[in-house]
Each structure stands twice: as C-alpha cells, then as structure tokens.
Amino acid sequence: MTSRVISAFAAEEEKRVLSLKPVLAPVHGRYGDHPHQSYDAWPADDPDAPVVILLHGGYWRYDRMHLTPFAAYLSQQGFDVLLPGFRRSGGAGGYPETFDDVARIVDTLPQGRPYVLAGHCSGGHLALWCAARGLLPPGSRWHTRTLPTSVLALAPITDLTATRRDDLSNGAALQLLGGEAAFDERLPEVDPLTLLREAGTTGVPTVLLHGAVDEEVPLTQFSDYAAVHHGLRTVVLPGIGHYTLIEPGAPGARAVAETLREMSAAFGPRPSDRAGEEAAHR
C-alpha cells in the first residue's frame, strides 16, 4: 500500500482551512435523542432567505466543527443555514446509522421549505445519495418520494467502489459499510453511481462543483459520475483545490455562494409571495 503524496500547495491549503477556529452558532437544535443527532443553525433575518442544509465531510468519520466557519460565512451572504451532525463511522455510526440520520435530517429539518442540500467531500456523497433515494426499491428503509429541492455536491465522493479501490483516507469506504464481508451486499443501496446506472437521473436538479486541482478526491470520481447522470450541471474552478471551496472569502467559497444564489433563485416566490403579487394585480 502506497502512502498518500500531495503537493506543497495541497498540503498548505488543507492545513490552512482545517486549522480555522470553529465558529459558535447562534442556535442549536436536535432532531433525535442520540447526542450526535443535533444541528447548528444560523437563521437569516429575512424570512424569505434561501435555505441551505450543509452536510459536512471528513470521510464519514469526523464531526462538523471544521465546517462552522463556512456555515457562518454563508449566513453572512444572506442564506438561512443549517449544519447538522450525524452518527459517524468508527463510533456510533456507519451503515446503517449514518444513512438513517441523514435521511431523517432531510425528511424533517426543512419543515416544508424549499432548500439546497449541499455537501462537501463525503458530505457530497451523502447529498447525492439523498437525491437518489427515490431510485431505491420500495422495500428499502430509505426509499422516499420526498426528495431535496436541489443538491449542490462540492468535490464529492461519488463512487464507493473506487473509494475502496484507491484506499482513500485509509479504508474509509470499507469502514462506512462495515468491512469486506458486507461491502458488496450493502453497496447498491448507498452508492450514488450504482443507483444512477440504470435510471440516468435522480430527477433532482443537481450541480457538481469541484476544483480543477483537487488532490484529495481523484478527479475521475467527478467525471465518471457526470458521465452517468444525465442533466447534471458541472462547474469546474481552475486553480482551485479541495478545501478552498469551504474557506470563507476564498475564490472557491465565493463561487459556491454564487452557485447557491443561482440555485435558490430557481425556487421562485413562496406561495405567500405569489398570493401577495396576485392581490396587487387585482
């Protein structure tokens, strides 16, 4: 097994972004009884602000604290931001608990509001999986017809088989699915690429955004997924790596915020807004 080797540019970027001081959220809440079933919220002053639910990365192992500076940054850009935690690999989570929690998050936290489900790295995998839950067999514990309004996958893991093959983050995919013996059996229910192969689309408006010089996730993860998902919009940022997508104020993060604005604009006015416009024209 070869050790992971990255450039000085990528190493400095990773250290800089992951060393940012966590930001305390103004609001905390719970969506379940387990200690990890909690969330941080940055509510917007504007009741009509677009809602963003962020799923953090960390190869399904680490907590959400590294993403709090980015969540606070998006709040400053005018978004209503929710950053949930969930049970994670190596502890209380993995298969099926991590997926149970993420399904519960998207089924309950939006409270009927349109929203963008955004995820970075392994959080991007979970966001893409949420969009594909309608493709699961009706008997699956995670099958649903209530899907995210739209999904923004930031430098996502899209292919768990390739993640296993390339031994990303020292066996993270195997750990998520419970080891070698269970991997092949569990894969079809939780792998975005596998779920898409026959259907070709999730039916959820989806954008895949990544840096052209990402050294954390192999670029083939992005190109292979794009080749299967019909109607996918792909945004490639020249000169941008893996972590500056979530670095407040950095060019990558500014591009993410702008993409979120574009995606949120597609929601159109809320029903109450439309009622007001109709009344004004009577």
Q: Looking at the 3D structure of the chain, how many domains does it have?
A: 1
Beta bridge partners of 209: 154, 235
- 2: in domain: no
CATH number at residue 216: 3.40.50.1820
- Residue 123 in domain: yes
Token pair of 185 as six digits: 């059996």
Which two structure tokens, joined as six digits, stand for 19? 């060393």
Instruction: Evaluate if residue 209 carries a pLDDT over 60.
Output: yes
pTM of the model: 0.94
**Residue 236 belongs to a domain:** yes
Is there a domain that residue 233 lies in? yes
Q: What's the rounded mean pLDDT across residues 254-265?
A: 98
Q: How many residues does the chain have?
A: 282
Domain with 241 in it: 8-280
Q: Where are the alpha helices (DSSP H) in 64-199?
A: 68-76, 97-108, 122-131, 160-165, 172-177, 180-190, 192-199
Classify residue 239: in a domain, yes or no: yes
Q: Categorize the per-residue pLDDT at 202 as very low, low, confident or very high, splitting at 50, 70 and 90.
A: very high
Structure tokens at 140: 């699956």
- For residue 1, tell me if it sits in a domain: no
Query: Closest by alpha carbon to 135, among 184, 194, 185?
Result: 194
Checking if the pLDDT of 83 tops 60, the result is yes
d(CA 79, CA 43): 8
pLDDT for residue 5: 84
Where residue 3 falls among pLDDT bands split at 50, 70, 90?
A: low
